[in-house]
Amino acid sequence: MAPQREDLREFLRTRRARLSPEAVGLDPGDRRRRVPGLRREELAQLAGVSVDYYVRLEQGRGTSVSESVLDAIARALQLDEDERAHLLDLARPAARARRRPAPRPQRVRPGVRILLDTLQQPAFVLGRRMDVLATNRLSRALLCDFDALPPGERNHARWVFLDPATRELFPDWEDVARDSVAELRMDAGRYPDDPELSSLIGELSVKSPEFRTWWASHDVLRRTHGAKRYHHPVVGEMTIAYEALPLPDAPEQTLYLLTPEPGSPSAAALDLLASWSAEAPVG
């Protein structure tokens, strides 16, 4: 089976498995179910399609699937917006590819680099595959000096999973790591033919049992905003909010701005880190 079809099958299977008949208003009937969640025929009933049609779709044998049918299946599975977008990517890869221009080389505009350097807060730009494309000094002091790494290793997910220091830096490392997996899974649906993404997924699957386990869950995520806790070796504990802003002229690039609550201990700690980073080498 082609990788894209296998991903579609597993995505739909894992989404079915998390729903019980009771949760969607169905009579569970036989309580002794061999598999968790909804059966295929129950999902087909909820979506208003034939069982044969749904089975063909889940097996990757469906062609020219309409967006209205996919919307019905998404509603039946109670998918969120990120999951719905991922379903469209997986179920209609040829149509999506025709609408999406070929990926361009990942370059950050000089104006964005100047903006990063003028900001008084940690900031960086991620591209496809969570590649780290640009950073400012304070983000390098807070996270990692990605500029000092070989170009092939400047990747946020790779750093989270393969650098042992991240498990000390992030008290909630598992949450951070699982979100990274979900972001990569989202990209895998958008860019199924990206050889560098396939290579990254293969490397992390071999080197990290956690990545391998969470990759099989088929969860997806598109970051917008949130907050993370840090335990920095120089300034200690901080909680810092972030905003993830897609760049208007480069939608595959996302600018991350990190800001602590004004007047908080975290803000004081970040000010201390800024003073330290201005005087000490990052690394």
Residue 5, pLDDT score: 82
Residue 265, pLDDT score: 98
Fold of 110-279: Beta-Lactamase (3.30.450)
Is it the case that residue 124 has pLDDT exceeding 60?
A: yes
User: Which value, to the nearest 10 degrees, does the dihedral of the CA atoms of residues 254, 82, 63, 104 take?
Assistant: 0
The model carries a pTM of: 0.90
Residue 43 has, within 13 A of its CA and on its CB side, a CA count of 30
Residue 277, pLDDT score: 85
Model confidence at 81, pLDDT cuts 50, 70, 90, reads very high
Report the CATH superfamily, name and number, of domain 3-99: lambda repressor-like DNA-binding domains (1.10.260.40)
- Which strands make up the sheet holding 225-232, listed edge to edge? 132-135, 123-126, 250-259, 236-247, 225-232
Q: How far apart (Å, rounded) are the C-alpha atoms in residues 20 and 241? A: 35
Domain ranges of the chain: 3-99, 110-279
> Which one, of 144, 133, 140, 222, lies nearest residue 180 by Cα?
222
Region of residue 81 (left: phi > 0; alpha: psi -120 to 50; beta: else): alpha
H or E segment and range at residue 225: strand 225-232
Q: How far apart (Å, rounded) are the C-alpha atoms in residues 254 and 133? A: 10
Model confidence at 63, pLDDT cuts 50, 70, 90, reads low
Is it the case that residue 93 has pLDDT exceeding 80?
A: no
Separate counts of helices (H) and strands (E) for the chain: 14, 5
Q: How far apart (Å, rounded) are the C-alpha atoms in residues 31 and 17? A: 15
